[in-house]
């Protein structure tokens, strides 16, 4: 999942981005409202964490312009403004959630996870595809009831594919949603991650859940469609 | 509920009704009197007419002066009459009386007397009693010429007064009806008039009743109000304006304070939680700790500033007034910021042509000037100008500190002394918390000085510290400033008046001294 953090406090930028990345999210960070708007328009983020009092452009204006262009990206406002009027104004302008500073990092994380699930019309934090069960909250994966050890990147890739289960996901989309830094055009990090996932999630004799669609990308599904 | 409108309506209605009743009664009494007088006049005329026909007999009766000695005409007699002698003996009476008498007054002192009575037939009547002297017959007149004085008699005539009473009753009824109508009409008119005349007051009261904290921008039109209400309305509008400004100031303060206090707490909490949840290598841990320390420093600055402001406003700061030489004080403060002056290549000058010495509290004055100077240096752009100038008007002296400020506009001036106010709405600078100028102003007021701000031209921000009382420099003992004065001494005061501070420090033998700890806030974070 890829997040955009628009926050002018460098210390919050540092701690939140570190925490969110450690939790398995790809995070882009900016401290300027205009730059945040530009990034929100140029990249398909799963969730945007938006401060209100920003240099360059006020957070509400950023939010208004994002919504004016038809974006459905989930946006959570993170601000010190705590009055009812502020919260109502933020939500009415188009925010999906509102969190007042100071906040608990775990609460922010839980809200981000909830918004990510909402992005893919999922209510249950546990995803089950065949014999594979993914706990998006606990960041755990099990196969036939036995835990499977995945690297953070493998988990992010699997989670993203599972969220879009039944849909073909391009390599670029996977890169965009799981890597904080742009992957090299010639890099095969996605392919190698998929390969590793196939090995870990498909014991010998079992059909693979991750299918390659030539020229299109990958699909997580129970059975491969006939070519 | 007792209202002016109700009370006024009640008083006017009762007063109008009373006046109407009294007026109506007086009018009725006048009419009644006229009608009765007319009735009496008819009775009197009738009595006089009858009396004119009553004569003495032509022949002298056996006993002179006896009542039967009168000749009463048979015709033209009224239905109810009685002829009496002055002694009350009945001489003649109408047949309707039978053998009875007409009720009469106790005496006949007047020549004509009227009274009410009830006739033997049981009907009310009014009677007249007329004293008269009967006409003498020709023979007797001739015989009596030169004789004794003529004898008087009393003629009583009564007349039914049913018509009069009926007329009076009708008039009375009409008066009552008209009075009732006038009462109702008066009440309606009073209600309408009072309501109309008090409409402006009512609308003002209704408007005032709807004012809430969220509608303090309401203003009432004073020009359409009566003269008595206009000053009230104008003062009310003034009060609302002050209240609105106060509420807005409080809102700004709350919002700014929320940002100033919540953000560092959020930073601190986030740093700690992430560090605990995802412990990284030593480098990231060290970075988190450094950030936490910086956040703690900023929060300490805000807390210290707020405490200093609170103490200052509560009058808890001890003040010790003594002569304070401004030139050495400014030099000492500027010495502490010389690095910043050089780094930003700021042109700094002090102009004190009179070597001013104020009677003030040296510690408070030092904090005030430190905050003003550091604030000026912080917001002056690269290669800008900072100028400190002192002048005086009589005994009152002032110190002006100007600096280049390219972002300030006149609309900002009312806010520059507000707590936590910063021109930068996103409050990105961590070095300033927006408490330096408010503290300087509060301290200035606590020692009897005034601090205000002006904009000159397009880019000169001037802070004026005024109200300083000039005095003769003396070397008082036991204060920090006395030490500073001793150090700078006469040599310092004799330095070239308009010379830039850097030059003075570098080339003319002037020395500077770091500000001493004075018990007041000299926290470097406090800006």
Q: What is the pLDDT of residues A182-209, one digit of tens each?
A: 555 556 778 888 888 888 877 666 677 7
Determine what percent of chain B is predicted with pLDDT higher than 90.
Answer: 15
Residues facing B130 on adjacent strands: B112, B155
**Which two structure tokens, joined as six digits, stand for A182?**
């742009």
Q: Is residue A100 part of a domain?
A: yes
pLDDT tens-place string over residues A131-168: 788 888 778 888 888 888 888 888 888 888 888 887 88
Q: Which of B209-223, B268-282, B494-508 has the lowest mean pLDDT?
A: B494-508
Which one of A18, A100, A101 has the shortest CB-CB distance to B284? A18
Q: Is residue B180 part of a domain?
A: no
Tally the domains of chain A.
2
What region does A133 belong to: left with phi over 0, alpha with psi -120 to 50, or beta?
beta
**Does residue A5 belong to the interface with chain B, where contact is any CB pair within 8 Å?**
no
Q: Is residue A17 part of a domain?
A: yes
Q: Which of B208-212, B315-319, B402-406, B449-453 has the lowest mean pLDDT?
A: B315-319
Q: Which of A13-22, B104-113, B184-193, B514-523 has the lowest mean pLDDT?
A: B514-523
| Whether residues A141 and A214 fall in one domain | yes
Q: Which residue of A has its CA nearest to B255?
A: A81
Q: What is the mean pLDDT of residues B388-404?
A: 81
Domain that holds residue A87: 2-119
Q: Is residue A226 part of a domain?
A: no
Tally the domains of chain B.
3
pLDDT of A71 above 80: yes
| Whether residues A103 and A190 fall in one domain | no
B chain contacts of residue A81, beta-carbon cutoff 8 Å:
255, 258-259
| Whether residues A130 and A108 fall in one domain | no
Which one of A11, A16, A80 has the shortest CB-CB distance to B262? A80
**Which two structure tokens, joined as six digits, stand for A74?**
């989930």
Collect all residues with Cβ–Cβ distance below 8 Å to B184 and sequence separation of at least 6: none
Pick from B248, B253, B262, B426 the residue to mutate for testing the A interface (most A CBs within 10 Å): B426
Q: Which residue of B has its CA nearest to A58?
A: B426
pLDDT tens-place string over residues B448-469: 888 988 888 778 889 988 887 7
CA distance B67 to B154: 11
For the stretch B382-395, what's the b/e string if a residue is b when 16 or more beta carbons lie within 10 angstroms of its beta carbon?
eebbbbbbbebeee
Q: What is the CATH number of the domain that holds B395?
A: 3.30.565.10
| Whether residues A111 and A170 fall in one domain | no
For the entire predicted model, the pTM comes to 0.58
Which one of B262, B273, B425 has the shortest CB-CB distance to A104? B273
pLDDT tens-place string over residues B198-235: 888 888 888 888 888 888 888 888 888 888 888 888 99
Q: What is the mean pLDDT of residues B115-141?
A: 83
**Does residue A49 belong to the interface with chain B, where contact is any CB pair within 8 Å?**
no
| Whether residues A10 and A115 fall in one domain | yes
Structural contact between residues B410 and B456, judged by C-beta atoms closer than 8 angstroms: no
Pick from B248, B260, B273 the residue to mutate for testing the A interface (most A CBs within 10 Å): B273
Alpha-carbon gap: A101 to the closest alpha carbon of chain B (Å) = 5
Domain that holds residue B47: 4-60+70-168
pLDDT of B189 above 70: yes
B498 vs B242, more confident: B242
Q: Which residue has the tokens 């140029």?
A: A42
Q: Which of B36, B383, B23, B308 is closest to B186 using CA atoms?
A: B23
pLDDT tens-place string over residues A25-51: 889 999 999 999 999 998 889 899 999
Q: Is residue A225 part of a domain?
A: no
Domain closes at, from A84, A99, A119: A119
Which one of B271, B425, B426 has the shortest CB-CB distance to A11? B271
pLDDT on residue A223 = 67
CA distance A156 to A174: 9
| Whether residues A103 and A60 fall in one domain | yes
């Amino acid at each position: 999942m890829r997040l955009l953090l628009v926050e002018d406090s460098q210390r919050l930028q540092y701690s939140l981005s570190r925490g969110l990345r450690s939790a398995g999210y790809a995070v882009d960070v900016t401290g300027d409202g205009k730059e945040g708007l530009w990034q929100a328009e140029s990249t398909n983020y799963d969730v945007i964490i938006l401060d209100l009092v920003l240099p360059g452009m006020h957070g509400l204006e950023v939010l208004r312009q994002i919504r004016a262009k038809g974006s459905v990206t989930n946006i959570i406002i993170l601000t010190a403004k705590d009055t009812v009027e502020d919260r109502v104004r933020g939500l009415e302008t188009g925010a999906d959630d509102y969190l007042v500073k100071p906040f608990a990092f775990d609460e922010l994380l839980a809200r981000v996870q909830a918004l990510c699930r909402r992005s893919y019309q999922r209510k249950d934090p546990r995803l089950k595809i065949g014999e594979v069960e993914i706990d998006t909250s606990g960041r755990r994966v099990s196969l036939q009831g036995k835990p499977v050890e995945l690297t953070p990147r493998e988990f992010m890739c699997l989670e993203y594919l599972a969220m879009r289960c039944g849909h073909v996901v391009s390599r670029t989309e996977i890169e965009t949603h799981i890597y904080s830094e742009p992957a090299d055009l010639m890099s095969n990090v996605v392919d190698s991650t998929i390969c590793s996932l196939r090995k870990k999630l498909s014991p010998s004799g079992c059909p693979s859940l991750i299918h390659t669609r030539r020229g299109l990308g990958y699909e997580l599904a129970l059975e491969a469609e006939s070519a | 509920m007792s209202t002016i409108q109700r009370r006024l309506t009640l008083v006017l209605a009762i007063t109008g009704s009373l006046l109407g009743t009294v007026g109506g009664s007086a009018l009725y009494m006048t009419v009644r009197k006229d009608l009765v007088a007319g009735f009496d006049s008819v009775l009197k005329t009738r009595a006089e007419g009858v009396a004119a026909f009553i004569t003495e007999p032509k022949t002298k009766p056996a006993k002179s002066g006896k009542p039967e000695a009168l000749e009463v005409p048979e015709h033209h007699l009224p239905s109810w009459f009685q002829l009496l002698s002055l002694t009350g003996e009945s001489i003649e009476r109408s047949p309707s009386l039978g053998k009875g008498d007409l009720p009469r007054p106790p005496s006949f002192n007047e020549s004509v007397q009227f009274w009410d009575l009830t006739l033997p037939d049981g009907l009310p009547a009014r009677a007249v009693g007329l004293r008269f002297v009967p006409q003498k017959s020709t023979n007797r007149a001739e015989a009596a010429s030169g004789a004794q004085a003529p004898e008087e008699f009393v003629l009583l005539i009564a007349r039914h007064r049913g018509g009069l009473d009926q007329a009076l009753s009708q008039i009375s009824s009409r008066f009552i009806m008209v009075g009732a109508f006038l009462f109702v009409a008066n009440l309606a008119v009073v209600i309408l008039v009072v309501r109309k005349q008090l409409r402006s007051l009512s609308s003002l009261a209704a408007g005032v009743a709807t004012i809430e904290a969220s509608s303090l921008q309401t203003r009432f039109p004073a020009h359409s109000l009566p003269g008595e209400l206009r000053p009230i309305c104008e003062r009310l509008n003034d009060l609302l304006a002050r209240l609105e400004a106060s509420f807005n100031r409080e809102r700004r303060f709350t919002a700014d304070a929320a940002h100033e206090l919540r953000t560092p707490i959020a930073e601190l909490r986030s740093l700690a939680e992430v560090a605990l949840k995802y412990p990284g290598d030593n480098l990231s841990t060290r970075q988190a700790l450094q950030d936490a320390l910086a956040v703690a420093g900023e929060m300490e600055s805000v807390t210290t500033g707020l405490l200093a402001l609170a103490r200052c406003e509560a009058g808890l700061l001890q003040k010790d007034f003594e002569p304070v030489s401004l030139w050495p004080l400014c030099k000492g403060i500027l010495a502490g910021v010389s690095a910043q002056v050089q780094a930003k290549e700021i042109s700094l000058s002090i102009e004190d042509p009179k070597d001013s010495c104020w009677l003030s509290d040296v510690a408070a004055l030092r904090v005030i000037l430190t905050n003003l100077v550091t604030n000026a240096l912080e917001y002056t752009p690269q290669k800008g100008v900072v100028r400190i100038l002192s002048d005086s008007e009589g005994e009152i002296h002032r110190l002006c500190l100007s600096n280049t400020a390219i972002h300030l506009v006149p609309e900002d001036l009312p806010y520059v002394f507000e707590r936590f106010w910063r021109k930068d709405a996103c409050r990105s600078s961590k070095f300033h918390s927006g408490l330096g100028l408010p503290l300087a102003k509060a301290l200035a007021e606590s020692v009897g000085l005034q601090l205000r701000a002006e904009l000159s031209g397009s880019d000169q921000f001037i802070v004026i510290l005024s109200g300083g009382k000039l005095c003769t420099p003396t070397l008082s003992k036991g204060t920090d400033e006395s030490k500073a004065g001793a150090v700078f001494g006469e040599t310092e005061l004799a330095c070239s008046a308009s010379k830039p501070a850097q030059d003075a420090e570098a080339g003319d033998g002037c020395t500077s001294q770091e500000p001493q700890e004075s018990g007041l806030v000299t926290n470097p974070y406090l800006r």
